[in-house]
């Protein structure tokens, strides 16, 4: 009995030991599995979690797209509303259109002292101030011929005024809109004309530069008349020519028509980059492109110009002018289309008022790149002026 019992006890001990070992292995496996699951959870690698993250990313992307489209749509609606509102604003407040035509509030170049033309390289120029009307002051530059450059140094206004009576002809220059008498392209033209032996008198209309007053077509024309009379009172028998550029051509034809009607015409009129009338110019201007086919364009945009008293009717004025006329225009002019200058010439040339005077049109090919304000660069300009102004007295054929 003792021998049989001992093996049984030993067997029980072995089974217990074996059971304990198996239990430990199972526990280790379970611990490892739980650790792996925790790691997977922390890494977000579970299938459910992956799908949720992808859905969240997609929702965020769609949200951003919707937000972008909403902002874009808001901007488009704002632009469209502004596009539609502007014509009504101009119709209700026609003064806006007048400011856009004159652009006298645009003073380019900035930060120059108009009292010191020498700062712009005009060392033979004097700055004056004239008074066309009460409470109106206009700034004037008088540049003498280049041959007097040294003599002019340190001279006062009286010397410059007396110089107008010399044997050199005089050009009264009427500039276009925006900027001042110190504009870069204007200064360069003064230098060219001065080098050719001309006195050049330029000025800022009331409301431009440092001139005092409120801009208007009537006021601009009166200012030009005052300066012309001021020159004639000092120039003796010297020829006086009038040169208008761009909007200044409207002032020039207004002035010359008035001078011819009172029988004191200038010796010649030069129009650089002219238009026919302000309505046609406004309709042709590049700024009008976005509204050119807008319903009621004339009523919204052109009628307010007329109601503001702005006409600048070159096409009508040339029918009442009796002096030689020279028109200069670049084919690539982006501001005043070339065809308007050609049209003005076609109106002027057969006019009875020019029957005893010559009318000449000089085009500048687009390859030259003179555009709206760089005709002064033409090497042909001295010859053109010499041939035209040298024989600007009345003649019996065009």
Q: Are 329 and 335 in contact (CB under 8 A)?
A: no
- The 10 Å CB-count burial string (b at 16+, else e) for 220-233 is bbbbbbbbbebbbe
| Cα–Cα dist 292/247, whole Å | 21
**Strand partners of residue 138:** 130
Q: Are 186 and 173 in contact (CB under 8 A)?
A: yes
| Cα–Cα dist 7/5, whole Å | 6
Residue 111 is encoded by which pair of tokens?
């930060």
| Cα–Cα dist 311/101, whole Å | 11
| Cα–Cα dist 206/212, whole Å | 5
| Cα–Cα dist 142/190, whole Å | 10
Q: Which residues are catalytic?
A: 246, 333, 372
Burial of 276 (0-12, 13-18, 19+ CB in 10 A): buried
């Amino acid at each position: 009995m003792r021998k049989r019992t001992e093996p049984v006890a030993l067997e029980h001990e072995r089974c217990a030991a074996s059971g304990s070992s198996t239990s430990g292995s199972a526990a280790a496996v379970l611990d490892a599995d739980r650790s792996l699951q925790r790691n997977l959870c922390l890494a977000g690698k579970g299938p459910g979690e992956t799908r949720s993250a992808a859905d969240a990313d997609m929702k965020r992307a769609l949200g951003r797209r919707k937000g972008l489209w909403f902002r874009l749509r808001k901007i488009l609606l704002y632009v469209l509303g502004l596009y539609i509102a502007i014509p009504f604003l101009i119709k209700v407040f026609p003064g806006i259109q007048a400011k856009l035509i004159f652009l006298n509030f645009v003073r380019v170049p900035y930060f120059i002292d108009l009292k010191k033309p020498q700062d712009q390289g005009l060392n033979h120029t004097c700055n004056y101030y004239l008074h066309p009307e009460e409470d109106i002051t206009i700034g004037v530059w008088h540049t003498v011929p280049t041959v007097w450059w040294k003599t002019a140094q340190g001279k006062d206004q009286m010397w410059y005024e007396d110089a107008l009576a010399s044997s050199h002809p005089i050009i009264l220059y009427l500039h276009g809109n925006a900027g001042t008498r110190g504009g870069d392209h204007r200064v360069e033209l003064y230098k060219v004309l001065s080098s050719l032996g001309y006195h050049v008198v330029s000025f800022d209309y009331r409301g431009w530069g440092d001139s005092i007053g409120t801009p208007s077509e009537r006021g601009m024309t009166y200012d030009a008349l005052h300066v012309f009379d001021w020159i004639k009172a000092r120039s003796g028998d010297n020829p006086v020519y009038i040169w208008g550029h761009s909007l200044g051509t409207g002032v020039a034809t207004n002035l010359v028509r008035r001078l011819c009607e009172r029988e004191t015409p200038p010796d010649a009129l030069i129009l650089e980059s002219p238009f026919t009338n302000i309505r046609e110019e406004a309709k042709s201007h590049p700024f009008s492109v976005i509204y050119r086919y807008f319903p009621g364009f004339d009523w919204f945009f052109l009628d307010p110009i007329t109601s503001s008293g702005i006409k600048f009717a070159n096409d009508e004025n040339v029918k009442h002018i009796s002096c030689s006329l020279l028109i200069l225009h670049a084919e690539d002019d982006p501001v005043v289309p070339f065809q308007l200058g050609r049209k003005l010439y076609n109106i002027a040339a057969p006019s009875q008022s020019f029957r005893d005077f010559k009318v000449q049109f000089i085009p500048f090919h687009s390859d030259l790149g003179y555009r709206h304000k760089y005709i002064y660069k033409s090497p042909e300009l001295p010859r053109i002026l010499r041939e035209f102004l040298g024989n600007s007295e009345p003649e019996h054929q065009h």
